[in-house]
Structure 1
Amino acid sequence: MEAQVSTFSPQGMLMPPEDNTLLIVDDDKAFLQRLARAMEARGFDVEAAASVEEGLASLKRRPPAFAVVDMRLDDGNGIDVIATLKEVRPESRAVVLTGYGNIATAVSAVKIGAVDYLAKPADADDVYNALTASPNDKAPPPENPMSADRVRWEHIQRVYELCNRNVSETARRLNMHRRTLQRILAKRAPK
């Protein structure tokens, strides 16, 4: 299979090559459908998958030139999809989406070959810009970054999930009183 070469527009944006196949893997079905429609409107030939298993089957059937993959899926980790994609089609460009953003997972995603890492909710313009950006461009600062309270809440939720939803173990690892943690977990996510 011959690699398709992308070209750059006068503004420095990477123009999609003739092979504009895009795989989107996300277990949030409403978000998946909206993003798929939006990316089709931007000229991509989209295939959608709602799980790691569906994503792996799709990329083995037809390895895409581009991929957008959620980090946490019901049946596993989106990093597995990107790792397999990079084995099958090394020149592909992948973006990782996640609601549980932290530095360790961002580093893992980039190490396996993701070109960018976006926190949810990312809109179609953010995804398109990440997929088509020149490799030398620096990402612009986010328009609406998460508040400090939201970042704290996301971190607590991530540690809680990693501890298999065990409140006592999570409290111990976060060096926090168990009842304080229970009150935080009972509240909704801050804006």
Structure 2
Amino acid sequence: MSEMVTSPILIVDDDETFLRVLQQALKHADVPAVSARTPDDALAVIREQTFDYAVLDLNIDGHSGLNLMKELLQLQPDCQVLILTGYASVASAVEAMRLGAMDYLCKPASVSDIIKALKLEASEETVLEQNDIENEPSEDFQPMSVKRLEWEHIQKVLVEHDGNVSATAQALNMHRRTLQRKLQKRPVEK
């Protein structure tokens, strides 16, 4: 069941344009929001204000959004956290959910997707703009490609090393620059 938002939603992302667009769209949907661009800025806000909901990027200026989520949930255990990422993987999604995230969305996620994931009431206009994804026919299962399997494995090892690229490269027996190059690429589809 949807609920009306009374306290602002915390949005933490290092992409200033994304923050501005999301905050404006949420305002248009009558959903108040407070934003931060770094984990330190977010923690300062978290210590001064209570949030029922938070939208955190998985990679915030080179820092793990999962580490920020752990700190947020220690300070505000009732906060519902949605993780957003441009580099989705099964391993990072599982880890986010294991650590307490309520949901996990891939960028670019629309405001409607975010509101739906947070189970919030939105203005009628926003609800009408949502795509009815549930009614789309599901595709038959297809195994992942080798490149996608590699991407998933890299993400799993990265999560195991708390986002530390150097430690991950060492564990994968890969040069750090090679790993960074692979991480900068968009994940391949199945």
Confirm or deny a common fold (TM above 0.5): yes
The size of the alignment, in residue pairs, is 165
> Structure 1 residue 79: deviation in Å?
1.3
Aligned residue identity for 2:4 = P
Is contact 1:163-1:170 (8 Å) kept? no
**Partner in structure 2 of residue 15 of structure 1:** 3
> Structure 1 residue 128: deviation in Å?
0.8
Runs of 4+ with deviation above 4 angstroms? 139-143, 148-163, 169-173, 187-191
Query: Is 1:50 paired with 2:46?
Result: no
**Partner in structure 2 of residue 95 of structure 1:** 82
Extract unaligned runs of 5+ from structure 2.
Answer: 121-132, 138-143
Is contact 2:90-2:152 (8 Å) kept? no
Alignment of 1:7-156 (within 5 A): 8=1, 14-17=2-5, 19-132=6-119, 140=134, 151=148, 155=152
TM-score (norm 2): 0.67
Higher RCO (Cα < 8 Å, 6 or more apart): 2
Extract unaligned runs of 5+ from structure 1.
Answer: 1-7, 9-13, 134-138
> CA 1:140/1:20 → structure 2, altered by over 3 Å: closer, same or farther?
farther
Q: Distance in 1 between matches of 2:62 and 2:19?
A: 16
Is contact 1:38-1:124 (8 Å) kept? yes
> Structure 1 residue 153: deviation in Å?
8.1
> CA 1:188/1:142 → structure 2, altered by over 3 Å: closer, same or farther?
farther
> Structure 1 residue 59: deviation in Å?
1.0
Q: Distance in 2 between matches of 1:166 and 1:67?
A: 28
> CA 1:111/1:170 → structure 2, altered by over 3 Å: closer, same or farther?
closer
User: Secondary structure of 2:102's partner?
Assistant: strand
Q: Distance in 1 between matches of 2:77 and 2:167?
A: 36
> Structure 1 residue 49: deviation in Å?
0.5
Is contact 1:101-1:154 (8 Å) kept? no
> Structure 1 residue 35: deviation in Å?
0.8
> Structure 1 residue 55: deviation in Å?
0.9
Q: Distance in 2 between matches of 1:96 and 1:115?
A: 8
> CA 1:141/1:50 → structure 2, altered by over 3 Å: closer, same or farther?
farther
> CA 1:128/1:151 → structure 2, altered by over 3 Å: closer, same or farther?
farther
